[in-house]
């Protein structure tokens, strides 16, 4: 019963639509009606600018971090924080508060790492920005950062981490399948602020 409550809370945390909230309250704009129509940080950057994008991305990361911390913060459960964090990722991607249409799982996935494997989070973040600086593609940088995360996790020899990172990376790539087609066709938008 306690475990079920933790998973539900994690999902609800993940379901908080940061992009929708920031867009409507701060700018009077529903970002689902602009750009890619996505509720994540990337579309917020493109639609509302750098400030809003940073706020939304940070909030989406923290959703994964707080969800992963739930077993320790409230109930001292033996549940693996990585597993609990996955429920926040599901909530972010399929949010009950936004008709189950959310982001692409990148920032919230990073958030669960910030709690469970902070050094790994920092190196993945650095890798992401290096690739972004070179390619100017957020989508490609996100996918390659996931692949880097898998490689990194293999050196830790921590089976739960390897499994979770591998599954999340596969999911992130799946969520970016339209971006992959645009990259191949050279129609994928590039960032202009870096």
Q: Per residue in 145-163, is it b (16+ CB within 10 Å) or e — as a string?
A: bbebbbebbeeeebeebbe
Q: Which tens digits make up the pLDDT trace of 97-146?
A: 999 999 999 999 999 999 999 999 999 999 999 999 999 999 999 999 99
Any idea where the domains of the chain sit in the sequence?
2-184
Token pair of 57 as six digits: 């991305």
Rounded CA-CA distance 14/50 in Å is 22
Cα 125 to Cα 61: distance, rounded to the nearest angstrom: 12
The predicted-structure confidence for 46-56, as pLDDT tens digits, reads as follows 889 889 999 99
How high is the pLDDT of residue 116? 94
């Amino acid at each position: 019963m306690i475990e079920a409550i933790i998973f539900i809370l994690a999902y609800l945390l993940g379901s908080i639509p940061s992009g929708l909230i920031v867009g409507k309250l701060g700018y009077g704009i529903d970002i689902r009606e602009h750009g890619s129509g996505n509720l994540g940080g990337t579309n917020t950057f493109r639609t509302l600018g750098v400030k809003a994008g940073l706020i939304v991305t940070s909030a989406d990361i923290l959703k994964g971090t707080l969800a992963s911390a739930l077993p320790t913060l409230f109930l001292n459960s033996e549940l693996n924080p990585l597993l609990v964090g996955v429920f926040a990722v599901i909530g972010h991607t399929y949010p009950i508060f936004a008709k189950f249409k959310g982001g692409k799982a990148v920032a919230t996935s990073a958030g669960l790492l910030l709690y469970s494997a902070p050094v790994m989070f920092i190196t993945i973040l650095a890798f992401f920005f290096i690739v972004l600086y070179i390619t100017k593609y957020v989508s490609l940088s996100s996918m390659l950062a996931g692949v880097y995360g898998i490689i990194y996790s293999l050196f830790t020899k921590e089976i739960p981490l390897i499994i979770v990172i591998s599954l999340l990376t596969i999911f992130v790539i799946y969520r970016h399948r339209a971006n992959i087609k645009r990259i191949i066709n050279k129609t994928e938008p590039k960032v202009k602020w870096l």
